[in-house]
């Protein structure tokens, strides 16, 4: 604890007032193993895995039996956004198998979400999209189905079936998603629609696989220090200025990043350039730049995508749109309302006009909506939902 311990002089016992009632063995959302309260800890320099502040070993704290370096302040481990409130001392620990596939032979697996065929480990090739994260697969190692069009990044094939995350005290389960969904799922961390695999706990929390895998952020090109989810208090993101969002915080200086910005791809292909566009951190620039996609001025102090070969600059939103986690061909159907939406790559020579806002669709994906006799293209999920609402309300 950070505060002065109480000392019982006659027996020279030292304890924090709050520690008397501390549970002995618990499971928290920052770690897969159980942790136990120890007083004192074994000597050494330690940092709390929740608040990232130093731990004074003499005062006691929680630590993991299996990972000697994992320790958490007593008060941080028992915070109600970290611990589910269950004491596990004397409770049998089940061995839960979280591996998502069986290995058939070297380089061939059978994945629980595609049991009908085996998948073969492959290198890059044609333009394909991962069924797990929905991102394109370029040169990365991936599994491809030996029979049908089903692809998974190697890292996505390895996503554990259950995992913990700082945004929930529940254990989250991996869900395969559906090619034809009857519902749109938004990630509770970044707000993006998820079409592929998702981690969830009932209706309480949904995370796309990128946000679910993000418990800390380190990228010296963006910020010299590592960032952590130290609290569920919402904040303002330095990269996109969005307020009231979950943020990863720097503990050394005042710098917070939202999940949406922390999960942006480092490099991405866009129709406006033949090369990969690279994510760049804003700096005060002497010149004005215009976005190649929307032709509006860019704020050079914010993050942007750039091609170093061609010297172009693009807004992050113009390059990414709202479809980062949506696979082309993803459909969403509400049979009760007679509504059908399909996500289509916006890669035709002539880009359609959005039937809601009237502008030329500039994002990587367009959404084709059909309700009864109505049919129209929309530049964003927001425009799509507005159109659907207007039509259904008559």
Binding site for Zn ion (CB under 5 A): 33, 48, 50-51, 64, 66-67, 70, 73, 76, 117, 130, 132-133, 145, 147-148, 150, 153, 156, 187, 189-190, 208, 211, 225, 237, 239-240, 250, 252-253, 255, 258, 261, 291, 293-294, 315, 318
CB nearer to Zn ion: pick between 353 and 392: 353
CB nearer to Zn ion: pick between 145 and 391: 145
CB nearer to Zn ion: pick between 175 and 225: 225
Strand partners, 270: 273
Strand bridging mode 108-111 / 101-105: antiparallel
Strand bridging mode 6-8 / 35-38: unpaired
Long-range contacts from 275-283, C-beta under 8 angstroms, 24+ separation = 275/307, 275/309, 275/310, 276/307, 277/305, 277/306, 277/307, 277/314, 277/319, 278/305, 278/306, 278/307, 278/308, 279/303, 279/304, 279/305, 279/316, 280/304, 280/305, 280/306, 281/221, 281/222
Distance CA 100, CA 228 (A): 27
Q: How far is the CB of 76 from Zn ion (least distance, A)?
A: 3
HEC profile of 17-68 = HHHHHCCCEECECCCCCCEEEECCCCCCCEEECCCCCEECHHHCEEEECCCC
Q: How far is the CB of 302 from Zn ion (least distance, A)?
A: 9
CB nearer to Zn ion: pick between 117 and 221: 117
Q: What is residue 103's three-state secondary structure? A: strand
Q: How far is the CB of 173 from Zn ion (least distance, A)?
A: 16
Strand partners, 208: 198
Q: How far is the CB of 358 from Zn ion (least distance, A)?
A: 17
Q: How far is the CB of 91 from Zn ion (least distance, A)?
A: 17
CB nearer to Zn ion: pick between 239 and 369: 239
Q: How far is the CB of 337 from Zn ion (least distance, A)?
A: 26
CB nearer to Zn ion: pick between 324 and 387: 324
């Amino acid at each position: 604890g950070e505060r002065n311990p109480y000392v019982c002089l006659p027996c020279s016992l030292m304890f924090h007032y709050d520690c008397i009632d501390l549970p002995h063995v618990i499971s928290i959302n920052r770690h897969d193993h159980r942790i136990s309260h120890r007083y004192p800890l074994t000597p050494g320099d330690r940092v709390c895995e929740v608040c990232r502040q130093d731990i004074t070993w003499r005062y006691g704290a929680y630590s993991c039996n299996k990972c000697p370096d994992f320790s958490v302040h007593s008060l941080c481990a028992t915070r109600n956004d970290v611990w589910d409130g269950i004491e596990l001392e004397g409770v049998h620990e089940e061995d839960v198998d979280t591996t998502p596939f069986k290995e058939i032979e070297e380089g061939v697996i059978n994945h629980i979400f595609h049991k009908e065929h085996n998948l073969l480990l492959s290198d890059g090739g044609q333009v394909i999209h991962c069924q797990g994260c929905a991102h394109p697969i370029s040169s990365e190692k991936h599994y491809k189905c030996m029979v049908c069009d089903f692809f998974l990044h190697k890292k996505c094939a390895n996503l554990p079936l259950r995992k913990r995350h700082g945004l929930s005290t529940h254990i989250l389960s991996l869900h395969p998603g559906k090619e034809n969904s009857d519902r749109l799922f938004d990630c509770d961390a970044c707000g993006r629609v998820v079409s592929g695999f998702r981690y969830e706990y009932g209706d309480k929390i949904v995370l796309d696989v990128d946000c679910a895998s993000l418990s800390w952020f380190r990228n010296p090109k963006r910020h010299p220090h590592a960032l952590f989810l130290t609290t569920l208090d919402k904040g303002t993101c330095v990269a996109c200025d969005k307020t009231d969002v979950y943020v990863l915080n720097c503990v050394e200086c005042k710098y917070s990043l939202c999940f949406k910005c922390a999960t942006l791809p480092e490099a991405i292909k866009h129709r406006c350039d033949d090369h990969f566009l690279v994510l760049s951190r804003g700096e005060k620039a002497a010149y004005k730049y215009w976005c190649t996609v929307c032709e509006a001025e860019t704020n050079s102090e914010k993050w942007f995508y750039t091609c170093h070969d061609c010297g172009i600059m693009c807004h992050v939103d113009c390059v990414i749109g709202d479809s980062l986690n949506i696979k082309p061909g993803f459909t969403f159907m509400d049979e009760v309302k007679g509504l059908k939406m399909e996500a289509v790559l916006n890669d035709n020579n002539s880009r359609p006009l959005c039937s809601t806002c009237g502008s030329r669709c500039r994002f990587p994906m367009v959404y084709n909506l059909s309700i009864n006799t109505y049919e129209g293209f929309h530049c964003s999920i927001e425009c799509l939902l507005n159109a659907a609402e207007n039509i259904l309300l008559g």
